[in-house]
Amino acid sequence: MFKKIVIFGVGLIGGSVALALKKLPNPPQIVGVGRSELSLQEALTLGLIDHAETDIASALQNADLVLIAAPVAQTPAILKAIRPHLSAQTVITDAGSTKSDVMAYAQAELGQQFNQFVGGHPIAGAEKSGPGAAMADLYVGKNVILTPAAVTGPEAVQKVATLWHHCGALVSNMRPEEHDSVFAAVSHLPHLLAFALVEDLAKRNNAELLFKFAASGFRDFTRIAGSHPEMWRDIALANKQALLQELNMYQQAVSEMTALLENNDDKGLFDLFEHASEARNAWAKSKTQ
């Protein structure tokens, strides 16, 4: 189905798609387009892409599919650059962590060819970034959410679903607003909390002592605070409304816990910890089945 795929942004996410496709019996030609020449050269050296291209017209010639895997605020500029060279046969998709903004950018920038765009989001990743972080098996058994619009061509959706099936992923559809509200709660909020905690401790006078003795609990809670700042700035701003709601609810939860502690409410604390612990363990178990 794919002879040529163009990836804008060959970092962790785009590079991992490239590596997975390279394992196919008949892998497509993979062309990389980047913002940083250094990073694109690294992608070439690591064998993630077959060719690094700076000329968008050449990159897009005979392309079956374009994957945008750059920080989400880069999406409109990339779409604007693609549009004049886009044939009717080329499908465009993305891997951005937010979908309402990306779908709105695509509608605004692609005009008539918006029906060739399929929003996408692989629910897999890491706190590492760049081509060196790419992994061939990153998407195996992981969810990928597509957010087709009413006008999106069914064959475009099918092509993008096939791309992710080739990577070993499980594909489902969602509305962009529903997607953004779900991921504000289970992905974007946890990242902001981890950044906030690490920043709070790092700024203290005794930060060195605190970090010296911080152990696995701290490691597990804060792993994601090592994530890419540009990526998370863009996500936070793109999903601001849903994220502000989640932050409000979390502040309420922290206030409730504070009150239990201030009141030495041993039963209240136990019940809360027990309920949360059961929910967490049931979730973890469901993920291993």
Ligand X SMILES: O=C(O)C(=O)C[C@]1(C(=O)O)C=C[C@@H](O)C=C1
Quick check: 182 binds ligand NAD (CB under 6 A)? no
Contact status: 34 vs ligand NAD (CB under 6 A): yes
Check residue 125 for interaction with ligand X (CB under 6 A). Answer: yes
According to CB under 6 A, which one of 126, 133, 149, 247 is a site residue for ligand X? 126
* Residue 36 sits in the site that holds ligand NAD (CB under 6 A): yes
**96 binds ligand NAD per the rule CB under 6 A:** yes
Decide whether 78 or 156 has the Cβ nearer to ligand NAD.
Answer: 78
Binding to ligand X by CB under 6 A, coded x per residue (else -) over 137-176, reads ----------------------------------------
Q: Output phi, psi for 91, to 5 deg.
A: -95, 140
Q: What are the beta bridge partners of residue 91?
A: 65
19 touches ligand NAD (CB under 6 A): no
- C-alpha separations of 79 from 60, 106, 207 in Å: 12, 7, 44
Q: Residue 69 interacts with ligand NAD (CB under 6 A)?
A: yes
Axis crossing angle, helix 240-262 with helix 229-238, rounded to the nearest 10: 100
Residues 245-284, interacting with ligand NAD (CB under 6 A): none
130 CB neighbour count, 10 Å cutoff: 16
Q: Which stretch binds ligand X (CB under 6 A): 15-23, 63-71, 125-133, 192-200?
A: 125-133
* Residues numbered 125-154 forming contacts with ligand NAD, rule: CB under 6 A: 125-126, 129-130
12 part of the interface to ligand X, by CB under 6 A? no
Euclidean distance between CA atoms 168 and 284, whole angstroms: 21
Decide which of ligand X, ligand NAD, none touches 30; Cβ closer than 5 to 8 Å per partner kind: none
Residue 169: closest CA among 134, 147, 146, 140: 140
CB of 3 to ligand X, least distance (A): 29
Minimum CB separation from ligand NAD for residue 20, in Å? 14
How far apart are CB 2 and ligand X at their closest, in Å?
A: 24
Question: Which of 121, 119, 141, 138 lies closest to 129 in space, CA to CA?
Answer: 138
Dihedral, CA of residue 197, residue 198, residue 200 and residue 206, to nearest 10: 130
Distance CA 183, CA 123 (A): 10
Displacement of CA 93 from its chain's centroid (Å): 13
Q: Can you give the binding site for ligand X, defined by CB under 6 A?
A: 97, 123, 125-127, 187, 224
